[in-house]
Amino acid sequence: MESTPKIIYTLTDEAPMLATHSLLPVISAYAKQAGVEVETRDISLAGRILAHFPEHLSEDQRIGDHLAELGELAKTKEANIIKLPNISASVPQLKAAINELRSQGFMVPEYPDEPKTEDEATIKATYGKVLGSAVNPVLREGNSDRRAPKAIKNYAKKHPHRMGAWKPDNKAHVASMSEGDFFETEQSMTLAAADMASIVFVAADGTKRVLKENLKLLEGEVIDTAVMSMHKLKAFAAEQIDDARKSGLLFSLHMKATMMKVSDPIIFGAFVEVFFKDVFAKYDGLFKELGVDTRNGLGDVFARIEGHEKEAEVKAAIEAVYENGPDLAMVNSYKGITNLHVPSDVIIDASMPVLIRDSGCMWDKDDKQREAKAVIPDRSYSGVYQATIDFCKANGAFNPSTMGSIPNVGLMAQKAEEYGSHDKTFQLDSSGVVQVLNSAGELLMEQPVETGDIFRMCQTKDAPIRDWVNLAVRRARESATPAVFWLNEARAHDAQLISKVKTYLAEQKTDDVELHIMPPVEATVFSLERMKKGLDTISVTGNVLRDYLTDLFPILEVGTSAKMLSIVPLMNGGGLFETGAGGSAPKHIQQLLQEGYLRWDSLGEFLALAVSFEHLGRVFGNKRAIVLADTLDKANEKFLDNDKSPARKLGQIDNRGSHFYLSLYWAQALAEQQNDAELAEIFTKVAKQLEEKEETINLELIGAQGKAEDIGGYYHPDFAKTTDVMRPSPTFSAIIDGLAESKA
């Protein structure tokens, strides 16, 4: 074990990145007084791009592969990583980041949509490692423990957020496929012994093509295959578009094209093609010539037609579709950006909870809220949202002042389930069968496919499943709260998990805890009924439901998922502490650039930091780290009680002002604690300085607002410029820097 305890703080993107420039100096200065070093690692989208193309960069431009480094660290007992939200890039976002880097002199290769050479194919494959959820599967060497901290829950009860009213005649609903989706076609099995497998496509004419080889499988591992039928998907899309038009509902598509970076962009593109079928039929040749890729949304049409002699004609044809079809849910009504523009603009785990909070409504082209049809093609988890809508129609909106909580224990370690399927997901270009073969060439699973169908294979290792079950029991016992495994025996994968869950529960003492196994829809109703009564229920779920529920319930309970306590107890003893969802981070950075005002709330970072110090103190026997954790908890509560989160308009405290108050309250708590006299003496001086200069610091921080700011880039901003913008109070900076320079 290293003698010096360390916290690794991740540098990410957009608003969380901006906030880091202001907050990290505070964290480092306070941590130093406990002998704790704070180091950073760049896992931003731009950083990940640069790390993968060192041969295209000069020596001084190169950075290490920090993500891979953290992935290895996550497997050690010493790991203590604070992970902020990062961009899970869609192709349009990736291209924008590449263009910005190249404009700055970082000559990484351009992204080849259709590789024509072996070099271009290699470049595209390398960029594939950056796309989508490239970060989380690498770092998550443990399962998820996510819940609303007591201070956050209490604040929401005292200051309930707005909830839309529900009436029984509300027409909003979820629409999913009834045939041909992943749910219907899923096959699953548990491996009796370790093996190497391959995925082979056998075309109708008997020719074979290896899609994936040398696939390592472990004993006890659960493997699945499933297929999405393209022709049934498109037929379903046409039905729902027509139904939305007839019923007067907004049409909205809810996908996870960032996380499910292979399958969901294809599904998204299918909806674009069906919605604008007349346009694509008329301009088929032109669009092929221009290289239009519907997986990148309608925005790709606009980007590629720009400046072309037929630009106005194509745009008029698109407008005609808008006139004759259903109204589309909007991402930005003022700019005319619809739900179908960019696949990463509407992400299901953020969009559906807001729809439910807002009485089943989304924004229309006139910037008014209207009831919406929420289309979620695969039915595996969509019933959870429909059950919640039905519950609200029958019982009315929840009351944040009295409702209970639904924390989550999520199976996600070692790329569990669907989120690990990227490199085993393929769209087939002809009919045939896809086979999974073991090392002896024996058939494990087989799926018939037609042209355009999407095949995916998923893996879930046994060790994470056992750890997940144990974590669920531990959380149920520690909190004296019922825990429900959301597993559907009618689904092939879940049937395998139910068998394992029952086996691992039988191996331990569970008579002192209340445990249930229920299908997701039944589990939803059970949990919502308890929540309405003010009771808590732990949801124990797989990886995708973990992602969905840890936004759905927090947004209903406390108004946001960004303030959740997200702990990942790593399987080898370390800790990963996540700081909440990115959410509206792009809007926040735009406001900073335009008005010099950052609304991002760093409370998630404050909460993660407290448990990080607590974990570090236990692992290293560092008593001062425990003191820092305890006092930060007190500071966080005072921060909430005094309502020092960023306000909503210019002239009030923004993110930078909230960091000042966190620093003040933390210093006061450290000065008042009685466990470490020397630490109390150090922070008595700091607290006095901050108290005496409070008015001056506020004037300096608020005085910096109201003007456009230049940070030198969106994806890869200039470090010094960003620091200047985010640390505009010389008085506050001098106090913090003085503490950092003092002897611990």
The one-letter code for the residue type at 615 is H
pLDDT at 691 over 70: yes
pLDDT at 49 over 50: yes
Statement to judge: residues 259 and 317 lie in one domain: yes
Q: How confident is the model at residue 65 (pLDDT cuts 50, 70, 90)?
A: very high
DSSP-derived secondary structure letter, 562: T
Q: Which residue has the tokens 């445990």?
A: 515
* Residue 101 included in any domain: no
Statement to judge: residues 575 and 673 lie in one domain: yes
Statement to judge: residues 288 and 205 lie in one domain: no
- Tell me how far apart the alpha carbons of residues 510 and 272 are, in angstroms, rounded to a whole number: 50
> How high does pLDDT run on average in the chain?
94
* Residue 464 included in any domain: no
pLDDT at 687 over 90: yes
DSSP H helical ranges for 648-693: 655-672, 677-692
Task: Indicate the residue among 413, 435, 457 that finishes a domain.
Answer: 457
Task: Indicate the residue among 457, 473, 505 that finishes a domain.
Answer: 457
Report the candidate in 159, 359, 330 with the shortest Cα–Cα distance to residue 252: 330
Give the pLDDT confidence score for residue 141 in this predicted structure.
Answer: 85
The burial of 511, by beta-carbon neighbours within 10 Å (0-12 exposed, 13-18 middle, 19 or more buried), is given as exposed
* Residue 522 included in any domain: no
Give the pLDDT confidence score for residue 420 in this predicted structure.
Answer: 78
Residue 711 is encoded by which pair of tokens? Answer: 């940070």
Nearest 5°: CA angle at 15, between 12 and 18?
75
Q: Which residue has the tokens 């309405």?
A: 532
What pTM was estimated for this model as a whole?
Answer: 0.85
pLDDT at 130 over 50: yes
Q: Check: CB of residue 377 under 8 Å from CB of residue 580.
A: no
Q: How confident is the model at residue 588 (pLDDT cuts 50, 70, 90)?
A: confident
Type and span of the H or E element at 622: none
pLDDT at 708 over 60: yes
Q: How confident is the model at residue 108 (pLDDT cuts 50, 70, 90)?
A: very high
Contacts of 56 (CB under 8 A, 6+ apart): 106, 107, 108, 109
| pLDDT higher at 593 or 580 | 593
Statement to judge: residues 306 and 380 lie in one domain: yes
Q: Put residue 336 in one of left, alpha, beta given phi > 0 → left and psi -120 to 50 → alpha.
A: left
pLDDT at 584 over 70: no
- pLDDT tens, 501-555? 999 999 999 999 999 999 999 999 999 999 999 999 999 999 999 999 999 999 9
Statement to judge: residues 304 and 357 lie in one domain: yes
The burial of 573, by beta-carbon neighbours within 10 Å (0-12 exposed, 13-18 middle, 19 or more buried), is given as middle
- Tell me how far apart the alpha carbons of residues 386 and 411 are, in angstroms, rounded to a whole number: 23
Task: Indicate the residue among 440, 457, 474 that finishes a domain.
Answer: 457
- Tell me how far apart the alpha carbons of residues 204 and 433 are, in angstroms, rounded to a whole number: 8
Q: How confident is the model at residue 1 (pLDDT cuts 50, 70, 90)?
A: very low
Percent pLDDT > 90 in the chain is 83
Angle, in degrees to the nearest 10, between helices 311-324 and 298-305 = 150
Q: Note the residue count of the chain.
A: 744
Give the pLDDT confidence score for residue 666 in this predicted structure.
Answer: 98
* Residue 474 included in any domain: no
Beta-carbon neighbour count of residue 120 at 10 Å?
16
| pLDDT higher at 648 or 123 | 123
Give the pLDDT confidence score for residue 32 in this predicted structure.
Answer: 95
- Tell me how far apart the alpha carbons of residues 328 and 498 are, in angstroms, rounded to a whole number: 40
pLDDT at 418 over 70: yes
Statement to judge: residues 321 and 391 lie in one domain: yes
Statement to judge: residues 445 and 431 lie in one domain: yes
Q: Check: CB of residue 562 under 8 Å from CB of residue 142.
A: no
- pLDDT tens, 217-241? 999 999 999 999 999 999 999 999 9
Q: Which residue has the tokens 């691992």?
A: 504
Statement to judge: residues 208 and 320 lie in one domain: no
Give the pLDDT confidence score for residue 581 in this predicted structure.
Answer: 63
- pLDDT tens, 477-501? 999 999 999 999 999 999 999 999 9
Report the candidate in 98, 133, 84 with the shortest Cα–Cα distance to residue 264: 133
* Residue 528 included in any domain: no
pLDDT at 50 over 90: yes
* Residue 336 included in any domain: yes
Statement to judge: residues 189 and 248 lie in one domain: no
Statement to judge: residues 302 and 364 lie in one domain: yes
Q: Which of 272-276, 330-334, 580-584 has the lowest mean pLDDT?
A: 580-584
* Residue 105 included in any domain: no
Beta-bridged to residue 578, according to DSSP, are 83, 566
Residue 497 is encoded by which pair of tokens? Answer: 């998990």
Statement to judge: residues 610 and 667 lie in one domain: yes
Give the pLDDT confidence score for residue 583 in this predicted structure.
Answer: 53
Give the 3-state secondary structure of 392-413.
Answer: HHHHCCCCCCCCCCCCEEECCC
Q: Please count the structural domains in the chain.
A: 3
- Tell me how far apart the alpha carbons of residues 654 and 394 are, in angstroms, rounded to a whole number: 40
Statement to judge: residues 224 and 240 lie in one domain: no
Beta-carbon neighbour count of residue 114 at 10 Å?
9
* Residue 686 included in any domain: yes
- Tell me how far apart the alpha carbons of residues 520 and 580 are, in angstroms, rounded to a whole number: 24
Q: Are strands 443-449 and 432-437 parallel, antiparallel or unpaired?
A: antiparallel
DSSP for 724-741, please give it.
HHH---HHHHHHHHHHHH
Domain that holds residue 738: 1-87+134-141+570-744
| pLDDT higher at 66 or 422 | 66
SS3 at position 27:
helix
Q: How confident is the model at residue 571 (pLDDT cuts 50, 70, 90)?
A: confident
Q: Check: CB of residue 680 under 8 Å from CB of residue 673.
A: yes
- pLDDT tens, 252-286? 999 998 888 899 999 999 999 999 999 999 999 99
